[in-house]
Amino acid sequence: MRTLLPSSTIGIIGGGQLGMMTVREAHRMGYRTVIWDPDPDCPAARLADTVITSSFADPDAAKKLADASDVVTYEFENIDPGTVEVVEKLKPVFPGSRILRIARHRKNEKESLQRAGFPVVPHVSARNEKELDESIKRLGFPVVVKTVTAGYDGKGQSVLRTQADVTALCRSYAGRFPECVVERFLNLDREISVIAVRSGDGNVTTFPVIENEHRENILHVSRVPAGISEDLRTEAVGLGTAIIDHFDMVGVLCVEMFVTRERKLLVNELAPRPHNSGHFSLDACSLSQFEALVRCVCRLAVPLPRLLTPCAMVNLLGKHLERIDIEAASRIPGVKVHLYGKKRSEPKRKMGHVTILRPSAEEVEKIVREIEAMIGEDGGRTQPQSIRQSMPAV
């Protein structure tokens, strides 16, 4: 495929905040956009040049999107790969349906990674209560049970610590046990992610390694640079690069990783699209993950993203928006508030994020605490403070 120059049209399946931020970068670079999302009020709809408002099950809409676009991408995994194949027959799609088939299905994802020799969490699949019992016998409590599809932000996940938890979960399925992956629930040192970008000519670049703190299985804070040793950083970047190469993918791939207490890396999951943990790149890098995606799909070279300053990103969920005084937060030096303009708020729905840019990791951390106090997240800290203080300055 030849290089697509500005004024070409990029089609995006999905119009959530990731679509919205991709559209904004595409427009900044001079490209036109068309998005496909069933919700006319979705975040990207306000910005895109054209909006196709149809169900993702509508094959005519897939054709309409392909007709209107020079190249197509997607911003979430919960779409039928068959739909992407319909588009793929008509126009180039980056990344294509192959990686989608793998990444949208937790069992396929883990098995593909394992087959290729990449380290993953000990796991067993279960399709019914009996298999769940057997998997717990093999792995031992505690385990986390995850539905193989349609899970995100901790949805479709349950941590089981006792037999009573197992009984309660099975009862909640009410006879309709979904296919699940059962994983050993690990006592982690920390979580990190590597965002790898592979352009059409096969060149791979990576964003600085990100350290992620979750609350109730939802991303709460991302910190960059991650507070890990240089050896582990090199290993993580190597792993992210090897995985995107292995899947021969063109686009942006987030590799979520666990760091075990023994300082071993395990791949948690893959997201073949811009990722929540990469939002810091909009404000803190020479190139954002969204620009990187636009460059990949348009077959432009992707320069190495440079971190301009230590930073953190704090997610704003619905429950946080009810508390935070946006104006007061915006007045804190180094703070930038991003809101997605979603009409419907839910306690655990991602409604926006805050980026904090300061000259040192310690100063960033001070403001993270201030924002946490403003959103009511100042309790429940899960990581020892020493981890934070070990974050290097850039």
Tell me which residues touch ligand ADP (CB under 6 A).
Answer: 121, 144, 146, 151-154, 183-186, 188, 191, 214, 217, 256, 268-269
If the CB atoms of residues 154 and 318 are measured against ligand ADP, the closer one turns out to be: 154
Report how far residue 95's alpha carbon sits from residue 184's, in angstroms, rounded to the nearest whole number: 31
Q: How far is the CB of 256 from Mg ion (least distance, A)?
A: 5
The option from Mg ion, ligand ADP, none interacting with 144 (CB < 5 to 8 A, set by class) reads ligand ADP
If the CB atoms of residues 186 and 321 are measured against ligand ADP, the closer one turns out to be: 186
Q: Which tokens is 125 given?
A: 């699949």
Q: How far is the CB of 312 from ligand ADP (least distance, A)?
A: 17
Q: How far is the CB of 112 from ligand ADP (least distance, A)?
A: 16
Report how far residue 269's alpha carbon sits from residue 291's, in angstroms, rounded to the nearest whole number: 23
If the CB atoms of residues 25 and 269 are measured against Mg ion, the closer one turns out to be: 269
Report how far residue 172's alpha carbon sits from residue 164's, in angstroms, rounded to the nearest whole number: 12
| Strands, E assignment, the chain | 9-13, 32-36, 50-52, 71-74, 123-126, 143-147, 157-160, 180-184, 188-198, 204-206, 210-215, 218-224, 251-260, 265-271, 311-317, 335-339, 350-357
The option from Mg ion, ligand ADP, none interacting with 321 (CB < 5 to 8 A, set by class) reads none
If the CB atoms of residues 56 and 185 are measured against ligand ADP, the closer one turns out to be: 185
Q: How far is the CB of 100 from ligand ADP (least distance, A)?
A: 15
Map residues 245-274 to x or -, x wherever contact with Mg ion holds by CB under 5 A: -----------x------------------
Judge whether 106 and 181 are in contact, CB under 8 Å: yes
The option from Mg ion, ligand ADP, none interacting with 361 (CB < 5 to 8 A, set by class) reads none
The option from Mg ion, ligand ADP, none interacting with 153 (CB < 5 to 8 A, set by class) reads ligand ADP
Report how far residue 81's alpha carbon sits from residue 85's, in angstroms, rounded to the nearest whole number: 6
Torsion on CA atoms 228, 234, 237, 240, rounded to nearest 10: -100
The option from Mg ion, ligand ADP, none interacting with 191 (CB < 5 to 8 A, set by class) reads ligand ADP
Closest CA to 52 of 265, 62, 355, 243: 62
Helical (H) or strand (E) element with 369: helix 361-375
Q: How far is the CB of 379 from ligand ADP (least distance, A)?
A: 18
- The answer to whether the peptide bond before residue 347 is cis (omega within 30 degrees of 0) is no
Q: How far is the CB of 181 from ligand ADP (least distance, A)?
A: 9
- How many residues make up the chain in this entry? 394
Q: Which residues bind Mg ion (CB under 5 A)?
A: 256
